[in-house]
Amino acid sequence: MNNNKKEVLAKGLKILALSLLFVFAGPVILYSAFNNQEHPLYIAVLVLGIVCFFLAMFLIFKGIKTLGQAIFDSK
């Protein structure tokens, strides 16, 4: 494995590690939003939780794609 592949592999692992933050933050924020439906910031917190979910999914797919490029790319 050459140096460039190691860098791409490390980048993919960093992206996946970052996605873990949003994987856990999304449900916590949504739970908080649904428990405080009468609060004036309910909609803002709900949107933030949904954005965390979509960001987590995007980062997971991007991280897996980057790992796949590092492992299976023949360049």
pLDDT given for residue 2 in this prediction: 74
Question: Where along the chain do its domains lie?
Answer: 3-69
CB hemisphere CA count around 72 (13 angstroms): 6
pLDDT given for residue 3 in this prediction: 76
Tens of pLDDT, residue by residue over 37-67, are 999 999 999 999 999 999 999 999 999 999 9
Query: What's the pLDDT band for 21 if we cut at 50, 70, 90?
Result: very high
| Separation of alpha carbons 18 and 37, rounded Å | 29
On the question of pLDDT at 16 being above 80, the answer is: yes
Q: How many residues in total does the chain contain?
A: 75
Residue 10: count of CB within 10 angstroms of its CB: 12
Tens of pLDDT, residue by residue over 31-40, are 999 999 999 9
The per-residue DSSP string of 19-47 comes to HHHHHHHHHHHHHHHHHTTTSTTHHHHHH
